[in-house]
């Protein structure tokens, strides 16, 4: 048991935090579809200032939220030319550095992608592997679900792609 007199904020060295992040981009014909750095053959891709990787953007916001930082729109604004067409893995690397400087590291991640077409089933393991590599965690700690819109709404009409991510962080001192 931690003695509150020695630890006035009552935090545990093995404290965990959870963050949620989302991202959504409009789809347009002739653009590349990239998820966790994996290029997916598709007639359309996201309209974005960066590469529009909705999974990595959602994961970045979840990491930043769990570590009580500003969101990616604040830290990597689309008005800054440094981030024009940048690979989202570079944004993630900077976010991970920020999270580590605050004393945290990822433990696991769970992601949902909403996209009507193309189906992501054949890319699922490759995306999970790549996300685990980028986060420095085992593929066994990476969940990924792909959902369609069943022909309904902006996802179902192939107008948008969106993603939600939940991450768990642990203190860097935790073993």
**Apex CA 100: angle with CA 22 and CA 80, to 5°?**
55
pLDDT at position 32? 93
pLDDT, mean of residues 132-152: 97
pLDDT, mean of residues 91-111: 97
Q: Is residue 3 assigned to a domain?
A: no
Residue 137 domain boundaries: 16-171
Q: Is residue 5 assigned to a domain?
A: no
> Residue 59 is encoded by which pair of tokens?
């994961």
What are the start-end ranges of the H helices in the chain? 54-66, 72-75, 88-101, 124-135, 153-156
Q: Is residue 4 assigned to a domain?
A: no
**Residue 32: which CATH number?**
3.30.1330.50
Which one-letter DSSP state was computed for residue 130?
H
Q: How far is CA 153 from CA 91, 118, 120, 123, 149, in A?
A: 30, 16, 19, 24, 7
Q: Is residue 2 assigned to a domain?
A: no
Q: How far is CA 62 from CA 112, 154, 169, in A?
A: 13, 23, 10
SS3 133: helix
| H or E segment to which residue 106 belongs | strand 104-114
Q: How many domains does the chain have?
A: 1
pLDDT at position 4? 43
Q: Is residue 141 assigned to a domain?
A: yes
Q: Which pLDDT tens digit goes with each residue over 155-174?
A: 999 999 999 999 999 998 76
On whether the pTM is more than 0.85, the answer is yes
Cα(175)–Cα(170) distance, integer angstroms: 9
pLDDT at position 13? 53
Q: Is residue 54 assigned to a domain?
A: yes
Q: Which pLDDT tens digit goes with each residue over 2-32?
A: 444 444 444 555 699 999 999 999 999 999 9
pLDDT, mean of residues 76-102: 91
| H or E segment to which residue 40 belongs | strand 38-40
Which one-letter DSSP state was computed for residue 171?
E
Q: How far is CA 51 from CA 10, 32, 57, 76, 140, in A?
A: 41, 8, 10, 13, 27
């Amino acid at each position: 048991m931690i003695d509150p007199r020695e630890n006035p904020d009552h935090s545990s060295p093995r404290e965990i935090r959870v963050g949620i992040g989302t991202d959504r981009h409009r789809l347009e014909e002739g653009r590349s579809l990239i998820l966790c750095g994996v290029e997916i053959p598709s007639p359309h891709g996201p309209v974005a200032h960066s590469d529009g990787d909705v999974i990595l953007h959602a994961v970045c916001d979840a990491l930043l939220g769990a570590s009580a930082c500003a969101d990616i729109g604040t830290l990597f604004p689309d008005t800054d030319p440094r981030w024009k067409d940048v690979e989202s893995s570079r944004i993630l690397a900077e976010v991970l550095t920020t999270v580590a400087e605050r004393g945290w590291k990822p433990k696991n991640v769970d992601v949902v992608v909403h996209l009507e077409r193309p189906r992501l089933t054949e890319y699922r393991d490759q995306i999970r592997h790549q996300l685990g590599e980028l986060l420095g965690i085992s593929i066994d700690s990476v969940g990924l679900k792909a959902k369609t819109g069943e022909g309904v709404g902006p996802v179902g009409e192939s107008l948008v792609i969106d993603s939600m991510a939940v991450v768990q962080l642990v203190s860097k001192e935790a073993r």
